[in-house]
Chains A and B, each alone.
Chain A
Amino acid sequence: MFKLLKEILRTGDATVQYPFAPYEASKDFRGKPEHDAEKCIACAACTIACPPNAIHMETDLDAGTRTWSIDYGRCIFCGRCEESCPTGAIGLTPEFELAVMSKEDLTVKAVFQLDHCRSCGKPFAPLKEVEYVGKLLAQTGGETERSAREEQILHTCPECKRKNDLEQVSRMKIAAQMETSK
């Protein structure tokens, strides 16, 4: 009994000041994932990695848009989105004050434009993603400017690319045949 009293006196006030003073979580605490829509290329890597399906991506072909959304109510704060993001557009912050009175406030969205294929005119991938890939290709090739032809290929959907390739191959075959038949 005496020891317990001693322990209590020794400890003094163990209680944190929060909410009267800010509460500092440890470095790299896993709190609210913050999405920087300007840095996002809508590639959907995070939607695939998210274990509870808190991050969603919906494509609306008629409107030519792709809508990204996160539900903080379903988020498990694992950081898989941050781990999988190629551009650093999403990252966990120390923010933990997330309680809300209405469920709608738990959802944050971002709407992105889809790129339309220069061949068939159909939307096929987010414009920002296509542009980003173009920049990476240019960097790998050590170029700063894209030729008009490269630009055309970049903005062509995979289906048309395949078709164009086939056409090109058959043209080459015909040309080769004509060459040999001469």
Chain B
Amino acid sequence: MNSPFNAPFTTDGLQAKPPVVSIPDQVAKMKAALLKDIQRSAYVYRVDCGGCNGCEIEIFGTITPVFDAERFGIKVVPSPRHADILLYTGAVTRSMRMPALRSWEAAPDPKIVISYGACGCTGGIFHDMYCVWGGTDKIVPVDVFIPGCPPTPAATIYGFAVALGLLGQKLKTHTHIEQEGESVPVSHPDIPYKLRVALEREARRMAGYRQGRDLVEEFLDQLDAKAAAPLPERMKRFVANQEDPRRAEIFGCLEGIVTQAIGG
């Protein structure tokens, strides 16, 4: 086997780059067969290369009763010597490169390498920092990437299923090319721009970017609605009809902004 330990580093601008271990063709063939259909249970050894612990804790979540990955024969083992799958988490810190490589060497071929979580896949939020190398594939070849920050237990089970050839991959790369005449409409064109923006901002301050947006859309739809009753009356009724007092408070606040805008 080629040794990853003595290969030289290369340099790219500010950053040195570690050598990536290579796999002999023979082993690669065996691995391809394994990835297609493993036909037995798979033992997993976790290699923490400097993660924040979020991934590790979700792996715990995956192997405990509620998600119970052992249903599929997936078992976490205490030594890389027992492993079929190496699960790498973390952005690969400088201190963890050698231990991570030693674990890789210790696991018998053909071994499957899974890169787990945003940090494992690409270095995540730490991708360009000085004390990391930037992801699992910077030091060893990776077979399956499981994104997430951290991946949930369900996402982890899905990832294992993809690695073991039980489920197909859903995500595919694609590139959208802008078409002639592609154009973005202004939302709620009948509502004055300044009023709409004032309502949207206040809704975000009251209920945040997600719930606030849902609420303000609901409210703007009310303003847009063509109905016989005059607007102030409709708004009053809409607010009064809310069962949830917090929603009523937020809509009341938006109503105040409209009233001020139309009534002065």
Contacts and interface: CB of A to CB of B under 8 A. Distances in A.
Interface of A: 14-16, 18-19, 23, 25, 28, 37-41, 51-53, 71-77, 79, 82-83, 87-89, 96-101, 103-113, 127-128, 131-132, 135-136, 139-140
Contact of B149 (A77, A108, A131): A77
Interface string B171-197: 111111110001111110100111000
B107 interface: no
Contacts of B28: none
A54 to B, nearest CB: 8
B28 to A, nearest CB: 14
B165 to A, nearest CB: 10
A13 B169 CA distance: 29
B67 A15 contact: yes
Contacts of B204: 83
A77 B149 CA distance: 7
Contact of B155 (A99, A106, A108, A113): A99
A41 to B, nearest CB: 5
Contacts, number: 168
A140 B124 contact: no
Interface string B78-115: 00000000000000000000000000000000000000
B248 interface: no
Interface string B145-182: 11111011011011101110001011111111110001
Contacts of A72: 147, 171
Interface of B: 35, 65-68, 71, 118, 121-125, 127-128, 137, 142-149, 151-152, 154-155, 157-159, 161-163, 167, 169-178, 182-187, 189, 192-194, 204, 209-211, 213
B189 A77 contact: no
Contacts of A128: 178, 182-184
Contacts of A73: 118, 121-122, 145, 147
Nearest to B177: A111
21 contacts: A19-B154, A19-B158, A39-B184, A52-B127, A53-B128, A71-B122, A89-B184, A98-B146, A98-B148, A98-B158, A99-B147, A100-B147, A100-B162, A103-B137, A105-B172, A106-B122, A108-B173, A110-B175, A111-B175, A128-B183, A135-B186
B186 A139 contact: yes
Contacts of B118: 52, 73-76
Given A75-B149, A79-B209, A132 B186 contact: yes
B236 to A, nearest CB: 27
B69 to A, nearest CB: 10
B171 A110 contact: no
Contact of A101 (B162, B184, B192, B209): B162
Per CB-CB distance, the 5 closest pairs between chain A and chain B, nearest first, are A73-B121, A99-B159, A37-B176, A52-B125, A83-B209
B184 A87 contact: yes
Contacts of B167: 19
A25 B127 CA distance: 28
B124 A107 contact: no
Contacts of A127: 178
Contact of B152 (A28, A82, A96, A111): A96
Contacts of B122: 71, 73-74, 106
Contacts of A40: 184
B34 to A, nearest CB: 13
A128 B185 CA distance: 10
Contact of B193 (A51, A96, A97, A139): A139
A14 B65 contact: yes
